[in-house]
A and B are shown apart, each in its own frame.
Chain A
């Protein structure tokens, strides 16, 4: 599913004439199989979010290659990556990233609109997804009218509505209480089992890391460990 080969990234800081290079990732290589839940753990500043952003195509790597579903996405331009994201990836963010002026229904419907799906089909798919995340009675609610857990469910529904084979999650439980966190982790495991969706989850939470089939540990931009989380 995902092949990361010799991936390095550094940020350039400072002003013109006084630039300094800050390395955040160095020679990262790993492979994620289809249907796996892989968690990436590490302390703050270890480079885990940068790694996820590189895989998502939000930033471009300084060196190395990223292959997802046999496509060398690290060579894609912005438009190609956008189309790839829409087709193959779903995202779950720590602070949900819902559009505040849109209802739960409209937020979930957004990827379907971007893909150009007909209004009738969209309506059906969105309602199904709302049911799946248990929010069928909240379709007309705006994000500000939903609890943190409900917002994250809307975010998950939005990520799943196009049935992507890969979901990237950045601290998905970071804004949730422990009870909601448990529900969410259970839901992720169900989706993985039932739909065979591959999950790549960034976390510093041990409980989240525990649901992974495999855990990759990063420290100071380097991959220090890969195996079953203990």
Chain B
């Protein structure tokens, strides 16, 4: 008997008991929708947290804090890192240990300054909003928010800001900074005396805005050569505003970096590079470490919720079992006739199993559609309700419910398995029907 004919049979049989079949499909659909919606909460929150983490950091970055003996990272260590398999670049930065004052045409700003190794920054994929990276020692790149932080050099600072805490529009620096030469003022202490010196720096590039709205990048990125000049002036490592006599005389190569980041060539290499660093006794941290723990936690949560949802489908399966048992009883004479004229037990079993699977599949399809509608309503409505109830704004991008294709596949597989299992016993009963008793209507 062809599958097409078996389906025709099933549809004919289902039409005979439309209401009963409809109620069974409805129960299955409700069970399936319950499973999907329940698990979608775990999927939604997981997605929200992961995207939040990814927005904050780049996924293939491994931050190296230092050696396990407490030593900082120097050029010697960086040379080793660059040799590791799966490493694309190693960025390293030394912070200027004082806020330099930058000024131009009656505007000034106190900005944190950092000496970056630009070739590795380029290799790591640093992007500029405009301009280029420094090529000469006195060339610098500024953070996206450096220009908005410039204020008039004269006047009362309390009057510079509007109600939102931003510099009033008429007092903002208005002009292109690319190619402009700023004066950088650095201080040093010499015993009790504090003296300053001005260095000319030329802005050649502006960084792209940070991924998050609330992030503020006011940094000025200088070259190693300029940092050397600053250190020569202050006589302290990192141009710290401290008494030079308190520092030991060390060469620039021996001064550890303040921040070292190893960039893996791809996501798959992050774990491998982390393990290599660990083997070489370095303390490192990557988002993958954090995500692994979080993923484990969420996998357990998802599995738990799917299990609870499955119970709903199991309850629905009682309905399917009941429907199929009644169908077998009602159709016993027909089954007897079919067997008498040559239907094999295998065909009879397949027809009933197909019928229960079909009910499960229709239920799953309706359940999936319902779950999507509920998911959309939850994502749209719940933040409004929570905001109204608690008078608190929900974090941007927070997703309460997410239905990935994997969840649909899981729900359909569970639904099908449960419905096939619940149809097995009635189907087996159908094959065991005695032809003679069935034809005599004794069943």
- Distance A99 CA – B341 CA, assembled complex (angstroms): 12
Residue of A nearest to B432 (CB): A78
Could you tell me the distance in whole angstroms from the C-beta of B437 to the nearest C-beta in chain A?
Answer: 10
Interface size class of B (residues with CB under 8 A): 20 to 34
CA–CA, A101 to B16, complex, Å? 9
Q: Is residue A82 within 8 Å, beta carbon to beta carbon, of the partner chain?
A: yes
CB distance from A155 to the nearest CB of B (A): 10
Contact A58/B342 with A101-B334, A114-B1, A116-B1 known, Cβ cut-off 8 Å: no
Cβ-based interface call for B345 (8 A): yes
Chain B proximity of A162: nearest CB distance (Å): 8
Residues of B within 8 Å of A59, CB to CB, are: 436
Look across to chain B and name the residue whose beta carbon is closest to the beta carbon of A97.
B337
Any B CB within 8 A of the CB of A53: yes
Q: A93-B439, A97-B337, A113-B5 are in contact. Are A87 and B342 (CB under 8 A)?
A: yes
* A8 in the interface (beta carbon within 8 A): no
SS of B interface (majority): helix
Q: Which residues of B contact A113 (CB under 8 A)?
A: 1-2, 5
A83 lies within 8 A of B342 (CB): yes
Q: Which residue of B lies closest to A84 (CB)?
A: B342
Q: Is the CB of B436 within 8 A of A53?
A: yes
CB 8 Å contact bits of A86-116 with B (1 = contact, 0 = none): 1101010100011101000000001101111
CB distance A83 to B436 under 8 Å? no
| Interface assignment of A12: CB less than 8 Å from any CB of chain B | no
Q: Do the beta carbons of A56 and B341 come within 8 Å of each other?
A: no
Question: Which positions 250-277 of chain B face chain A at CB distance < 8 Å?
Answer: none
- Let me know if A86 and B342 touch, CB within 8 A: yes
Interface string of B1-37 (1 = CB under 8 A from A): 1101100000010001000000000000000000000
The contact of B344 among A56, A79, A119, by CB within 8 Å, is: A79
- B342 near A85 (CB under 8 angstroms)? yes
Is A158's CB within 8 Å of the partner chain B?
yes
List, in ascending order, chain A residues with CB within 8 A of B439's CB.
Answer: 93, 97
- A82–B342 touching, CB < 8 Å: yes
A82-B345 contact in complex given A110-B338, A114-B338, A116-B1, C-beta closer than 8 Å: yes
- Structural contact, A58 and B436, CB atoms closer than 8 A: yes
B340 touching A111, Cβ below 8 Å:
no
Known: A58-B436, A113-B5, A116-B1. A99 touches B334 (CB 8 A): yes
Contacts of B342 in A (CB 8 A): 82-83, 85-87, 89, 111, 114-115
A85 contact set on B, CB distance < 8 A: 340-342
Q: Does B339 make an interface contact (CB < 8 A)?
A: yes
Q: How far is the CA of A158 from the CA of B346 in the complex (A)?
A: 22
Instruction: Tell me whether B435 is interfacial, beta carbon within 8 Å.
Output: yes
> Which residues of the other chain, B, contact A97 by a CB distance below 8 angstroms?
337, 340, 439
Cα-based distance from A58 to B436 in the complex (angstroms) = 7
Nearest CB of chain A from residue B413's CB, rounded to whole Å: 30
User: A101-B12, A101-B16 given as contacts; is B2 within 8 A of A79 (CB)?
Assistant: no
Residue of A whose beta carbon sits closest to that of B12:
A101
Kindly provide the distance from the CB of A45 to the nearest chain B CB, expressed in whole angstroms: 16
Q: In chain A, residues 69-88, which have Cβ atoms closer than 8 Å to a Cβ of chain B?
A: 78-79, 82-83, 85-87
Bitwise, A26-70 to B at CB < 8 A (1) or not (0) is 000000000000000000000000000100101100000000000
Report the minimum CB–CB distance from A97 to chain B (whole Å): 5
Measured CA separation A87–B346 after assembly (Å): 17
A91 touches B340 (CB 8 A): yes
Knowing A53-B436, A58-B435, A79-B346, the reply to whether A110 touches B2 (Cβ < 8 A) is no
B339: chain A residues at CB < 8 Å are 82
Other-chain residue from B4, B16, B341, B435 in contact with A111 (beta carbon distance below 8 A): B341
Closest to B5 in A: A113
Bound form: Cα–Cα A99–B332 in Å: 11
Cα(A101)–Cα(B5), bound, Å: 16
Q: Say yes or no: is B394 at the interface (Cβ < 8 Å to chain A).
A: no
Q: Mark A152-175, 1 if CB is under 8 A from B, else 0.
A: 000000100000000000000000
Are the CB atoms of B341 and A114 closer together than 8 Å?
A: yes
B335 (CB) vs chain A CBs: closest residue: A99
Residue in chain A with minimal CB distance to B3: A116
Q: How far is the CA of A78 from the CA of B1 in the complex (A)?
A: 17
Return chain A residues, CB-CB under 8 Å to B5.
113, 116
Q: For residue A139, give the distance in angstroms from its CB to the closest CB of chain B.
A: 17
With both chains docked as a complex, state the minimum distance between the C-beta of A165 and any C-beta of chain B, in angstroms. 14
A53 CA to B439 CA in the complex, in Å? 12
Binding site for B on A (CB under 8 A): 53, 56, 58-59, 78-79, 82-83, 85-87, 89, 91, 93, 97-99, 101, 110-111, 113-116, 119, 158
| Contacts beyond the supplied A113-B5, A114-B347, A116-B2: 16 A-B pairs with Cβ under 8 Å | A56-B340, A58-B435, A79-B344, A82-B343, A82-B344, A86-B343, A93-B439, A97-B340, A97-B439, A101-B12, A101-B334, A113-B1, A114-B338, A114-B341, A116-B1, A116-B5
Subset of 25 A-B contacts with CB under 8 Å: A58-B435, A78-B345, A79-B345, A82-B342, A82-B343, A82-B345, A83-B342, A85-B341, A86-B341, A86-B342, A91-B341, A97-B340, A99-B337, A99-B338, A101-B334, A110-B341, A113-B1, A113-B2, A114-B338, A114-B341, A114-B343, A115-B342, A116-B1, A116-B2, A119-B4
The 4 closest A-B CB pairs, nearest first, are A86-B342, A82-B344, A85-B342, A79-B344
